[in-house]
Each structure stands twice: as structure tokens, then as C-alpha cells.
Amino acid sequence: MSYIRYFMPMTSEANGYGHKGRQPVGRSIVEERSNNCKLTVWAQDLRPETRYGIFMLFPDAGRYAGIGMGTLTVDEKGKGEMRREFEPGELDEFKLSDIVAVAVIVRGTSGVISPLCGYRSEPVTWRHTFYEHRREIVTVTRDEAPFNTSPLVNEAAGSLSQMLPAAEAPVGLPQPPPIEAAESLPQIPSATEAIEIPPQPLPIEAAESLPQIPPAAEAIEIPPQPLPIEATAPPPPAAPSAQPEENDPPYDPTPIRQFTNQTTQPKSEIAKSFRIALDQLHADTVQRSGQHPAHPLHKTLETIFSSKEHITPFQKQARKTLWVRFDLSDQVPPPINKPHLFKEPFILSALAQHGHLILGMTAGTGPKRYIIGVPNHPDQESRQKARRLGFTQFKRCDESHPSKGDPGYWLMFITA
């Protein structure tokens, strides 16, 4: 049995669609097992009052075909979630193993605007050659319509054909009989009369042998059944207890495997179940990443932090984080979804100009996160290059008297 599963973190690729000053982030997972496929998309910090569509992108002769998978509904907190199961045949000639990305696209705009996009491997330039792939709808013509073999309908059709007036006979042919001859013919009922059959009373002996039939109201009365747990919709993620600061790392949404019944549990128990499932899923993710041979990040970073001098690149931080400087000679492993990150011109240019990058590791309780920082300035050109690679936040070094153009670091957050 074949099994395909692609996990694609989603980052923002358009300005102006964040919520409360934060950039949107998300995750998408596509799976295929035997003949069953499933797409799951989570998003947060998206602008709520916008209509969003979800598309899976496939390469098609130099272009990128987008297959629509539904609508992403965003609540007033900027969070949205969509899960859909489908069959491989819904992709037409495309295969799930050829998928390039999953994109969230704004509906009702003249151009292609994607506030969130997650790539299977390397980012690609797809918006200028994007088109929406639509399946061909097969229509049934009148000649192909099946013949109704119901005897009542056929009898009514025959009655109607007899009631239609006959076409005039051509000149030179025998004329139809006069009207007086028609009076001797039996009366033909109308179409509605032909299909109405009056009920025939049963013989008394037969009626007595039949079981008693309850009244119609009693026959259709069905006691209410509780909804099964599997059929309920998942509860929305619990909001953070405090409003994060401007430079806080974005909240990391994580899928939940099993949900409880919202109709039978109070909100406090739902939130507690959500937190327990979130912690368990993070533990599973850490265990799987530790067994993955292509993800050696967690094996070497502890050694780097223990062997290098710690620095303080920022005046204040919302969460305690340890920082060190490094360059390419330290052989820091790149993120698993960006194996060629340190070969990008944006990174090489920063190393040539400043001679270092920075590496952060969160300390204390909670999930451990690693942060890669690239020294630069927050101008428009560097912002486009940084966000294309997945650097979602710029943090200034000096925040006592911030001003436009102050130097700092573009940050990429990695959960391992």
C-alpha cells in the first residue's frame, strides 16, 4: 500500500493581509493512502474580512495549474482551518506526488494575491503563470436521456399523443373522417386522469390479516440521536493568554488528532483537551524529527551553543533566548524544508558584508525553538528577499530610540 505525506509550512507572500499588525503564518499537510487523499490547512493572523480560496499547485508545461480545494473561513481572531478528503480522480491528469505548493489566494481581486503559501521543497515563481484548472463538466443531451419505463408515465404519454391534433393531410391525400365519426369514439381521459388510480378497498378477510399500521405522525417520529464524536467539527485553537509584543515569535499552530464533542463539554474542558493534544503532538513531532536522517539540526546545535561565546544582539526579548554568532565554517545544518538556504545570494551577501550570522535557542519551559538571524536593514528590497526565503520578522538591535532604517536581523523560526 503506497503512502504519501507532505508537510509544508506556510509563510506570507503579500502585504496588508495580517491581523492586528502581525504577519500571517500557517501549515498545510497533503496525504494519500491507497485511493484516499486528504488536505489539511491551518492559518492564523489572517485578516478576517477577506474571502480566501485554497489551491493545490501543479506544474503544467511551463505554467502552474491551481486546483481549487475549497474556501478558508477566518474567524474574528484571525484563525482559520480547513480539512477535506478527496479521491485522486478529482485531480484529473495531475498526481499528488507532483504537487509544488499549497496556496491561500484572495478571492475577487484582479491579480493573483497569496497571503500564505507553503512549498513542498524550494520556492518557485508561480503567480505570473498561474491559471485555475477546472474539470470538464459532461452534459447529457436529449437523445442520451434514459427512457422512462414506468407504465403509468408511458400510458399518460400515449394518452397525450392521442389527444394532440393531427397534422393537416397534404393535398391529394384522403381527408380524415368527419367530426361526427369522432363522437362514436370513447372519451379519452386527460393526462392527469390517466395517471390517477383510485384506491381499491381490500377485502375484509385480507384487511384483517394485515398488521396494524400506526398513523403517519407516529411512523415518522424518530427520537433525537446524539452526534458521534467523529462527526463534530474541531474546536478553534485557544487564544494566547496575553497579547504578544510586536517582535514576539509568531504563535505556532499545530494540528490536533482527536477532538471531543463540543455539544457535551464546557468551554474550559475543550480548552484543556486542546492544550493536552497540542503538547502531545509537539512531543510526537520532536520524536519523529529525531528519527529523521535528513534533519540533523537537533544533534549539532547543542554542541555549537556549548562551544561558542554567547552574545546579546537585542536589548529586550519577550522570551529568554540564547544567542551565538556563526558562519559557514561552523557547518550549521539548514532547515529540513530549505536544504540550500545557506547558498542563497541573500545569505552570502550578508556574510560578505558583516562576516557572521546569528543562531538563537529558546530557553525555559515550552517547546524549544531555534532561530536563524541574518544581519541587514529593513528596506523594501531586503524585505522581499527575506520573506521569499522564510524570514518572517525583522528585529532591531537598538530599540531604545528606534528609527527607520536602523540595522537589525531578519529572523527565521524553526521548531525542532
Over the stretch 72-101, which tens digit does the pLDDT of each residue have? 999 999 999 999 999 988 998 899 999 999
Can you name the residues that pair with 393 across neighbouring β-strands? 411
Confidence at residue 234, expressed as pLDDT on a 0 to 100 scale: 52
- Predicted confidence (pLDDT) at residue 139 exceeds the cutoff of 60: no
Judge whether 393 lies within some domain: yes
Confidence at residue 181, expressed as pLDDT on a 0 to 100 scale: 43
Are 2 and 132 in the same domain? yes
Residue after which a domain boundary falls, among 106, 121, 136 = 136
- Predicted confidence (pLDDT) at residue 107 exceeds the cutoff of 50: yes
Are 287 and 394 in the same domain? no
Averaged pLDDT, 361-380: 84
Are 83 and 25 in the same domain? yes
- Predicted confidence (pLDDT) at residue 46 exceeds the cutoff of 60: yes
Percent of the chain clearing pLDDT 70 (strictly above): 60
Helix 297-307 and helix 267-291: axis angle, to 10°? Answer: 90
Judge whether 306 lies within some domain: yes
Averaged pLDDT, 216-224: 49
Q: CA separation (Å) from 388 to 13, 137, 410, 414?
A: 7, 37, 12, 16
CA distance 381 to 378: 8
- Predicted confidence (pLDDT) at residue 166 exceeds the cutoff of 60: no
Percent of the chain clearing pLDDT 90 (strictly above): 34
Q: Which residues constitute the domain of residue 287?
A: 266-293
For residue 302, which of 365, 357, 248, 363 has the smallest C-alpha distance?
A: 363
DSSP 354-414: HS-EEEEEE-SSS--EEEEEEEE---HHHHHHHHHHT--EEEES--SS--TT--EEEEEEE
Are 276 and 345 in the same domain? no
Judge whether 375 lies within some domain: yes
Please say whether the beta carbons of 77 and 239 come within 8 A. yes
- Predicted confidence (pLDDT) at residue 200 exceeds the cutoff of 70: no
Confidence at residue 245, expressed as pLDDT on a 0 to 100 scale: 45
Residue 2: give its domain's CATH number: 2.60.40.200
Judge whether 371 lies within some domain: yes
pLDDT digits (tens, 9 = 90+) for 2-38: 788 999 999 999 998 999 889 999 999 999 988 899 9
Averaged pLDDT, 374-384: 88
Torsions phi, psi for 195 (to 5 deg):
-100, -5
Are 277 and 371 in the same domain? no
CA distance 118 to 29: 9
pLDDT digits (tens, 9 = 90+) for 384-407: 899 999 998 988 887 766 666 678
Are 284 and 328 in the same domain? no
The residue behind cell 486546483 is 67
Averaged pLDDT, 302-326: 86
Confidence at residue 3, expressed as pLDDT on a 0 to 100 scale: 85
- Count CB neighbours of 39 within 10 A: 20
Are 342 and 386 in the same domain? yes
Residue type for position 194: A
- Count CB neighbours of 23 within 10 A: 18
- Predicted confidence (pLDDT) at residue 54 exceeds the cutoff of 80: yes
Beta strand 80-86 pairing with 36-44: antiparallel
Judge whether 237 lies within some domain: no
Residue after which a domain boundary falls, among 96, 111, 136 = 136
Residue partners of 187: CB distance under 8 A and separation at least 6: none
Averaged pLDDT, 218-243: 50
Where residue 34 falls (left for φ over 0; alpha for ψ -120 to 50; beta otherwise) is: left
Cell readout for 404 is 527607520
Instruction: Tell me the pTM.
Output: 0.37
Judge whether 239 lies within some domain: no
Confidence at residue 396, expressed as pLDDT on a 0 to 100 scale: 87
Are 337 and 281 in the same domain? no
pLDDT, the chain, mean = 74
Judge whether 310 lies within some domain: yes
- Predicted confidence (pLDDT) at residue 261 exceeds the cutoff of 80: no
Confidence at residue 178, expressed as pLDDT on a 0 to 100 scale: 52
CA distance 7 to 94: 19
Confidence at residue 153, expressed as pLDDT on a 0 to 100 scale: 42
DSSP 298-317: HHHHHHHHHHS--B--SS--
In the chain, the number of structural domains is: 3
Check residues 88 and 292 and name the one with the higher pLDDT: 88
Are 391 and 327 in the same domain? yes
Residue after which a domain boundary falls, among 136, 164, 199 = 136
Check residues 357 and 149 and name the one with the higher pLDDT: 357
Are 13 and 56 in the same domain? yes
Q: Note the helical H segments in 196-266.
A: 204-209, 216-219
Cell readout for 371 is 532561530
Q: Mean pLDDT check: name the lowest of 103-112, 299-308, 339-348.
A: 299-308
Residue partners of 120: CB distance under 8 A and separation at least 6: 6, 8, 99, 100, 101
Confidence at residue 131, expressed as pLDDT on a 0 to 100 scale: 94
Judge whether 15 lies within some domain: yes
Are 49 and 100 in the same domain? yes
Are 16 and 126 in the same domain? yes
Q: CA separation (Å) from 105 to 68, 112, 173, 326?
A: 10, 7, 71, 37
